[in-house]
Amino acid sequence: MGLIQSLQKVFKMKDLGDLSYFLGIHVHRISTGLHLNQAKYIYNLLDRTNMLGAKPYSAPCVSGQKLSKLEGDPLPDPTIYRHIVGALQYYTLTRPDISYSVNQLCQFLHCPTTIHFTAAKRVLRYLKGTIDHGLFFQPRPLQLAAYCDSDWAGDPLDRRSTSGYGVFLGNCLISWQAKKQPVVSKSSIEAEYRAMAFATVELYWLRMLFKDLQCSIKSTPQLWCDNMGALALASNPIFHARTKHVEVDYHFIREKVLNKDIIPRYISTADQIADVFTKGLTSSIFLLLKDKLMVIESPISLTRDVKNIISVPTLNNISTEEHISKDDSYR
Domain definitions of the chain by residue range: 19-135+296-330, 140-292
Tell me which of 324 and 290 has the higher pLDDT.
290
The CATH number of 140-292 is which of 3.40.50.2300, 3.20.20.70, 2.160.20.60, 3.30.420.10?
3.30.420.10
Tell me which of 202 and 242 has the higher pLDDT.
202
Residue 135 burial (CB count, 10 A): 21
CA angle 301/306/310 to nearest 5° reads: 160
- pLDDT, one tens digit per residue, over 32-66 is 889 999 999 899 999 999 999 889 999 999 988 88
Interatomic CA distance for residues 213 and 223, integer angstroms: 23
Q: By the 8 A CB rule, do 146 and 206 touch?
A: no
User: pLDDT value at position 314?
Assistant: 36
User: pLDDT value at position 241?
Assistant: 56
Instruction: Inform me whether the pLDDT recorded for 11 exceeds 80.
Output: yes
Interatomic CA distance for residues 162 and 279, integer angstroms: 8
pLDDT > 90: percent of the chain: 48
User: pLDDT value at position 331?
Assistant: 36
User: pLDDT value at position 250?
Assistant: 67
Structure confidence at residue 315 as a pLDDT band (50, 70, 90): very low
Dihedral over alpha carbons 190, 228, 288, 275 (to 10 degrees): 0
Residue type present at position 281: L
Instruction: Inform me whether the pLDDT recorded for 226 exceeds 90.
Output: yes
Interatomic CA distance for residues 80 and 319, integer angstroms: 9
Q: Average pLDDT of the chain?
A: 84
Range with top average pLDDT, 22-26, 169-173, 253-257, 313-317? 169-173
Helix axes 79-91, 99-106, angle to 10 degrees: 150
Interatomic CA distance for residues 296 and 290, integer angstroms: 8
